[in-house]
Chain A
Amino acid sequence: MVDAAPAAKTKPVYKSTEVNKVVEPFVDEYNLLLIDRDPNDGSKADKLPSSDVLLQRARDNTQYLFNKIWQLKRKIIKDAVCAELPAKELYRLPREKPIPPPKEATKWERFAKEKGIKKQPKSKKVFDETTETWKPSYGYRRGNDDTKDWMIEIPRQKDPYRDYFGERIEAKKERTNRNEYQQMKNQMHAIKSNQRSGGDSVNDIPLGVGGRADFSSKKELTDKIHKAKLSTASAGKFQPDIKGELKPKLGVKRKFEPNEHNFKDEKDRQLNILKNLSTKKPKLDENRFGAAEHAINKAAAEDNDDGEGEKSSAKGKGKRGDMGKKRPMGARGKSNVHRQQHYQKALKSGKPGKRGGSSSAGGGGGKKGKR
């Protein structure tokens, strides 16, 4: 407030810039932040402070903050008087993205570091002989561009019918391909070394994204995709299809019986199994007899070598007792061999027809729980 009394020549009275704080506040000039640690007025515990109180408090705090800022070094930028803020912040704030992983040195960089080779600064412009001007050293308007040559001089001994222009183009293509290949190798090396040192998974190639050459063939890749599809809770029934994909058999789930049945159910089940085993007639495939015969003879020859074979297999058969599953038997299974043996015996003994001999075959062979 300026004292406006024209008669008396008094000095103008200004309001003070001093601020008295109970507790020293925390000031961070970089963030223009002040944290006021003063306790609130204890008297107004249940009521919110009024806007005047808040304004007064804010004014004091701002004055304190400005006092601090005005003490900083000054700088004049384009006719504006600025205060140079400190280089680093005191009140730390979290980052928004994780720290980037350190860049792995490329093969050349490692070599250069070891040998002490420093990068030679290249000039941006180059003196072009033909036009005698300074032209950029790279790019489509570059100086000393050999692709623009309309004539190539060749020494006498060289073949005049070779395509030297074409060769230049091919050589350039070769160079670019080689360069790309080396870049890719450097990248893979960087990734591998990052993996080896257990780098953060943050900057890895995402799982579903390309860049992996793990699959040896298209078929292998397709198989893996199908396996992945099948591994859902609905066995792949609701997975979206890729265009042009060969649809595998999906959506078929195995059904499991609950662990605990009641006693009656279990008993009935087991009895049913026995009944099925005794009554059901096995299907006989005539075409397989020849192969079976061959297999039997072969097995017989083997069994003769180790005499124990037959007994052990019989034992194994007795102990099997499956839970009512009718396993389709291949021609080479040992129990199958014995079954066929019985058929053979039956055939040899001249039983009329295969159907007729089935009862004995069914009785003799097959899967009997009790033996």
Chain B
Amino acid sequence: MCLRLRLLTLEGSVSSPFTRFSGSLTSFPFSVKPRIPIMADAGSVEALLQLVEKADGGVDSLDVASSIGVDHQVIVGAVKSLQSLGDVISAEQRSSKHWELTEEGTELAEQGSHEARVFSSVPPEGLPQSELMKLSFGKIGFSKAMSNKWIRVDKSHEGGPRIFRSVESIQDQVREKLLLVQRGAPLEEKDKNELKKRKLLAEVTVKSYWITRGSSFSTTLTKQETELTAEMIATGSWKDRKFKPYNFEAMGVAPDCGHLHPLMKVRTQFRQIFLEMGFSEMPTNNFIESSFWNFDSLFQPQQHPARDQHDTFFLSDPALAHDFPQDYLERVKRVHSEGGYGSQGYKYDWKIEEAQKNILRTHTTAVSARMLYKLAQQEKFTPVKYFSIDRVFRNETLDATHLAEFHQIEGVVADYGLTLGDLMGVLHQFFTKLGITKLRFKPAYNPYTEPSMEVFSYHEGLKKWVEVGNSGVFRPEMLLPMGLPEDVSVIAWGLSLERPTMIKYGINNIRELVGHKVNLQMVYDGPICRLDS
């Protein structure tokens, strides 16, 4: 099964049994050379070696075949297997042209030319033409014999046309010439052409090997081992054995294992970065959120476009949230509708009905709000650093880079006296861990942060600044109603997990990464995730 014969030795000849398989056989991805080295029978290999030993300067594989009396293919096989054993012989490919009888030519060489056979079929008393024509060679032989004037036709004979010999004896020159060719004797050009025209002869190209002794020539072969075995180690016999060389060009066998999803591998790295920086993970396992925590608590007004049906998934069941910290809710209502905490407020009619509406959270900041509120309920404020990486949902138009759900990465730091410079410093550290060192900040607008900054990094490939995240300082209108001390500042930033993953793994269509249309081959082939390299 491991034959690796690729050579078609006889061009234009009838196909050999090997050529038919060679294509498929070579496609086996085995890294070792054929395990059965001697495919040709041992006899012909031995005979070949003996001939090579005797001959000075080498022998032709065709001569070997004819002198041993086997098909040339067998010798080619023997050459191949000897080559695989190392430098026993050296074989150089050559090609020669010679004339050979066709199938019809061979038949004629055996049985005589058609015209000769016609002549011998005609008895002295003659033969009706119709009888002659029934013979297989009749038609061709008749016209040839006629032109050679070996026979004549008596058309007026009673009982139809009848054929008679017109000479006593003939010489079958065609057959003689064919026999000459068969014996390998030379033939005149004119004769060759005539026989070729009659499709009795054909010129064929023969590929053969010129075989000479190799540097480690020997007529006695030691069998090469394919693999080291436990027995060889036990007996020490490996010391005396020769081992077949490996084919290091081929690929190895893929290990049988499972794989982690690329997006999750990137998530693991981001978690790692946050943990390295001392950030604690927030409990974001609540996809369903009330508008209150998702928007109102963040000082996002109730008419804000993000709260539109076109941007947010609302729930029909359970449609409303039923439990809120009542005191806090009152403070939130007041800061929206009237202001306070040093703010003018938005001065509109804040409605609990709007806050109650359940939605699929549009950002994990809803959980940050819950956590900050809980922090404010602590007896004593303690500084915190929080992070989360989890799913968020937007009822948006979908395209190659946007889905209705994606993972948001979020970092939050709350402490006394944090500055905008601190936010930029933390972002610098965070992005440095991602391998991004050139950062720039651009003013932006966000209802719950002031100042708000878009974070840009210089992309070496695109030769321009690209947005990598959003950041800001939470507004006092968000923090103070929660009950956090006035001089506590909370800085935060966010980015999506999918975008860096798509860049990292060179994926253009997000559907190939997330969701059931994932390309599993891509998952199988994915490298480990090192964000900073």
Partners in one complex: no
Question: Could you tell me which A residues sit within 8 Å of B by CB distance?
Answer: none
